Amino acid sequence: MNIAIFGASGATGKLLTERCLAAGHAVTALVRTPENFPYSARVRVVKGSAFDSSAIAETLTGADAVFSALGAKSPFKNEDVLPRAVPLIVAAMQVHGPRRIIALGSAGALPTSLDKQPAYRRWIVQKIVYNVFLKYPVLEQISQYKTLSASTLDWTMVMPPMLSNAPAHGHYRIDGEALPKNGSMISRSDVADFMMQQLTNEQWLGKGVYITW
């Protein structure tokens, strides 16, 4: 397949790029600084920003599917990455294709995300973690979910809790309704593996899916 990747230079984006190449897919990556991207020699690189419609269109040319691993880098300020970039990507895909997009989200994107947690944990995560420490990243993910769900695309939003750089466990819990009970962490490697599976899996089309250890 020909895969377009937005956010390819981020921690999860690099893992997706690596896995796509290992699987024999052709990759086009939109990156700001190709000279710092370790896979530049092995992929088609488009230099530019995810806030630039022309760079997005060039990245999508010939693509069969899209991965987005975009996201805010700082939890302490409003970077407005997803509210700006995702509508542009969705609009370009709806006009030019492809139809399939698999986006990295977070467990805070929906108000029902904590429904399966114990009451004390639900209060702590919602009132302190989501409303204070991760206020701006959560708002960005809420925006991303609204944009994807309002589109006509074949979208899937993968929604983990805290991400770690630990090795993949190779096993995890998934749920389409809410974050599984006491789920608090998962490795980027496991998330990247799950996102790769969605290239050929239709179970989560038009849906968000929670994933955690």
Q: What is the pLDDT of residues 79-107, one digit of tens each?
A: 999 999 999 999 999 998 999 999 999 99
Query: Is the CB of residue 162 less than 8 Å from the CB of residue 213?
Result: no
pLDDT band at 114 (very low <50, low <70, confident <90, very high): very high
CA distances (Å), origin 188, targets 17, 86, 108, 158:
13, 21, 17, 12
* Domain locations along the chain: 2-212
Q: What is the mean pLDDT of residues 11-39?
A: 98
Q: Which of 69-78, 148-157, 162-171 has the lowest mean pLDDT?
A: 69-78
Task: Supply the mean pLDDT for the chain.
Answer: 96
pLDDT band at 165 (very low <50, low <70, confident <90, very high): very high
Q: What is the mean pLDDT of residues 162-176?
A: 97
pLDDT value at position 78?
A: 86
Superfamily of domain 2-212: NAD(P)-binding Rossmann-like Domain (3.40.50.720)
pLDDT band at 3 (very low <50, low <70, confident <90, very high): very high
The residue among 111, 42, 55 whose CA lies nearest residue 85 is 55
Entry pTM: 0.96
Q: State the DSSP code for 202.
A: -
Which residue carries 């466990």 as its tokens?
A: 169
Percent of the chain at pLDDT exceeding 90:
94
Q: What is the mean pLDDT of residues 47-67?
A: 98
